[in-house]
Chain A
Amino acid sequence: MPDIDRRDFLKLVGAGSVGVAAGFVLAESIKHPVEYLIPFPVPPEDYSPGIATWYNTVCRMCAAGCGISVRTREGRAKKIEGNPAHPVNQGRLCALGQAGLQVLYNPDRLTTPLLRDGDRTGPFTQITWEEGLSAVADRLASVDGGRIYLLSEGVRGHLAGLFELFMAGLGSNRLLHYDFDYPHTLYAANKRFYGENNLPYYDLRNARYLLSFGADYLGSWISPVHHGLGFGHSRQGGEVRGYFVQIEPRMSLSGAAADEWIAASPGTEGLLALGLAHHIVAEGLYEGDDRDDWMSALAAYSTARVAEQTDVPTNTIARLAKAFARNQPSLAIGGGAAGNHSGGVDTLVAVNALNYLVGNLGKSGGLLFNPDPVVGRPTRSRRASFQTMLELAEDARRGNIEVLIVNQTNPVFTLPAATGFKEALAGIPLIVSLSSFMDETTALADLILPSHTYLESWGDDIPEPGVGFRTASVSQPVVSPLYDTRATGDIVLGLAQKLGLTDSMPWTSMKEYVEQGWRQIHARGADTETRDFQAFWRAILQAGVWGEKLRRDNGAFALDKSVIDNIGAQQPEFSGSNDDFPFVLHPYLSNTFLDGRGANLPWMQELPDPMTSVVYGSWVELNPATARQLGLAQGDLVRVESPHGSVSAPVYLYPGIRPDVIAMPIGQGHAEYGRYARNRGSNPIEILAPRAESHTGALAWSATRVKLAATGKKAALVQTGGTSRQLGRGIVQTTDATAGSGHNARLNSIPIKVVST
């Protein structure tokens, strides 16, 4: 360029430099960010980066005691799966069990010991373990043992033993294991009918015909995963397809899975069972030599009468009775709502009677009696029933309790408001909570010594009910502790040391105690002479489970005549008169939250309820016909009023529920318990009547009547599902039982690639 004066040149220089700067910045901005490589100073011996390590341990999300294997990478837990070697779940696991990871990694965990300064409205301040333990120890040392209570969640295995030793050392027998869903009535019924202390093993796997009286055996009853395995196999595993009948006022998960759902009127399951029994005996389907005793005992339960009491047609009763007696092996189970009425035990005894009459006892496909567990387990007297809790509350009010140690249980949430339990706690000078989370009860504590989660602690467990033979499993930490917390056992041992109880509890750590305890198991084992204890222990830690495959001899079972004579069932009693409170409230354990312990797990909050697809909240299930009468529509906010209070929730039109019953899931409605649970939905337990089952004193939580009051408001009913009708689109296709006559894959427009087998 020939002609270029100074100004132009400067312009060009300016432009050029601007360009350079731009280019430079651009290049800088697309640079890769700095990443670090940080190795362990000293790597654990079974660790190598990029390779997963699996640890076998025990699931503690419910009482079933499934074995789990936890996958870890770079020292972090990544996934929980069932332990294939474990006889209870055989490698499978339910949703709640898998969500255990979010217990471990929950953002709302308590991370250090906390001391409340001032009264129970005041805030907490961080303290060291030393301070915390000595604070408790001093107090325990100063007070008379009889005024010390230890209220724990239901624990089994050596931890339970440790509690016993600890309380004994303190000279107190106020040791209680409290679970909302502990089946007191079932234990009582079995005790009365079979004279058994253990639950029998229900062999669904080989059952051809199952009568379930209110037991949601696939959802929440006793051992859902194990029942699921049995159910699946019975359905399509064998030659003959098992037939499942569910008797309950509100269709549960099991009800949906069953071939037949019978909505007997609530609380009359016992009557129905006896009606069936009567029919069986009367029709000569039972030829025991005590047939006459039965006849006389059941005389009052003629089909016709039972039919009009239970609202189940006579021909149905006859059909069920015949089928139950003819399709061997058959099995009758009872529990859930059926057991939660005023006459719960009678009902379940009646169910047992059915099994007896068609001879399901002690044979495959029926029910097998379990041997006594190999490691001690809290006696039933330690199992706090509703009645016991009322007494505890009473003691508290009277000021008979100096120190209350609460371990991982949340009675403030799971006891009806009418019991005044929460208020009663005010009468206790010192409440110590060992919970890992700030739940409703812990929020009232004065001192919090946070426990490890089960994935960080040592321990062991004996599944209950067993699987027909003796088995036990060890739980070991799968990750190093996240926070400044301690295993419950270690806390107890720590206190014991401070209190100088070392002669009765010489162990320094829970690990040591468990290991020592397992020496006895090793001692009894067949391989005692072949392997020394250390080898045995290593093997156990790898397998995660131990068992001896000898079934208990279920020989001839003789029934005492007195039992037969005492057989009987009454109409259920409800709190609230029929006229003022037209509906029976049917609270049920949510499949995802159980009694509410799962509500702080985001996965569980976001897991659609199987039956309604509702997430993040609670609802009131209403028969569409009833709703029409009341002029209510889906999503209308209603107030559920019982004689003891009211909660409100949106209406859900539920085709599978009796018109005179309304159902609500338990588990939501927390006031505390972390960001995911707090102030979500409502808790039906609040409004339950404080009515106890007559024999066991268990809470009869299906025995409250309620009425509905429309608020005129709409409430957000968050659902993942849209329309739940198929409109003849053949999405879920069905066929009748006769195999082969079903629609054949080969006939599809595109043949499914079929290989001859």
Chain B
Amino acid sequence: MGVSIVPTLRVLKPAAMIIVVMALGTVVGFWANAAFLPGTAPKQPIAFSHKMHAGDYQIPCMYCHIEARRSISAGVPSINKCVGCHGIVAKDRPQIRKVLDYWQNKEPIPWIKVHDLPDFVYFPHKRHVLAGVECQICHGPVETMDVVTRTAPLKMGWCLECHKARAVEHGTDCWTCHK
């Protein structure tokens, strides 16, 4: 005649295993989603290749994104900018024809945001550009991308690391970046 908790543990083992497996499963599922469809490279209305423009032809970023240097937002070039060149260049390519169609109908191109910060974030491109922060630090090596992909997490902690590393003045004050 004796007493011990072990027999009971034996009885409970299957149930415990089921729970553990389920937990593991959840982790796996989460990871799988994040890994295989991260949604960081959405399909754009026009397959614009930064690799070709910024990479091969060496067009500087701020030739098209003119505002980056003087405004909060970097600004997406409006079609007349595209047409400025493509009115002459490579007019026969299917993608370019699409662009020209937009231009004919005077419709804007509905680009999808790849690097999208929440509305409560105050991120002046101007300050960062003037401070000599490379575009690639946040946007990744765009000049090598055919399809622009978000490489940086764009999370608060990530911003803070940089701000701390560069010892930005009041770089960790909430109201420096929040609004």
Contacts and interface: CB of A to CB of B under 8 A. Distances in A.
Interface of B is mostly: helix
Nearest to B25: A19
Interface in A16-48: 16-28, 31-32, 34-43, 48
A49 B102 CA distance: 21
A38 B79 CA distance: 10
A727 interface: no
A35 B113 contact: yes
A41 B79 contact: yes
Contact of B25 (A1, A20, A25, A38): A20
A51 B71 contact: yes
A509 B126 CA distance: 40
B18 A22 contact: no
A11 interface: yes
Interface stretch (B48-56, B85-93, B104-112, B129-137): B104-112
Contacts of A15: 18-19, 21-22, 25
A32 B116 contact: yes
A50 interface: yes
B75 A39 contact: yes
A485 B116 CA distance: 36
B95 interface: no
A19 B21 contact: yes
Given A1-B17, A15-B25, A50-B67, A41 B111 contact: no
B129 to A, nearest CB: 13
A503 interface: no
A12 interface: yes
Nearest to B42: A34
A8 interface: yes
Contact of A40 (B14, B32, B108): B108
A27 B29 contact: yes
Counting contact residues on chain A (CB < 8 A from B), the size range is 20 to 34
A23 B67 contact: no
Contacts, number: 126
Contact of B28 (A1, A19, A39, A50): A19
Contact of B108 (A20, A28, A34, A39): A39
Contacts of A31: 39
B121 interface: no
Contacts of B33: 23-24, 27-28
A735 to B, nearest CB: 37
A23 B28 contact: yes
A31 B39 CA distance: 8
Nearest to A18: B22
B30 A39 contact: no
Interface in B122-167: 125
A18 B112 contact: no
A11 B78 contact: no
Given A8-B14, A16-B25, A19-B25, A50 B75 contact: yes
A50 B72 contact: yes
Contacts of A12: 17-18, 21
Contact of B30 (A27, A32, A34, A37): A27
Most chain B beta carbons < 10 A, residue from A11, A18, A24, A34: A24
Nearest to B79: A41
Contacts of A8: 14, 17
A18 to B, nearest CB: 6
Nearest to A19: B25
Contacts of A19: 21-29
A16 B21 contact: yes
Given A8-B14, A31-B39, A41-B107, A23 B31 contact: yes
Given A15-B25, A16-B24, A20-B29, A48 B71 contact: yes
Given A22-B26, A41-B79, 9 more contacts: A8-B14, A16-B22, A19-B22, A20-B25, A31-B39, A34-B42, A38-B111, A39-B76, A41-B78
13 contacts: A18-B22, A19-B22, A22-B29, A23-B26, A24-B33, A27-B33, A31-B39, A34-B113, A36-B110, A38-B111, A41-B106, A43-B78, A48-B70
Interface of A: 1, 8, 11-12, 15-28, 31-32, 34-43, 48-51
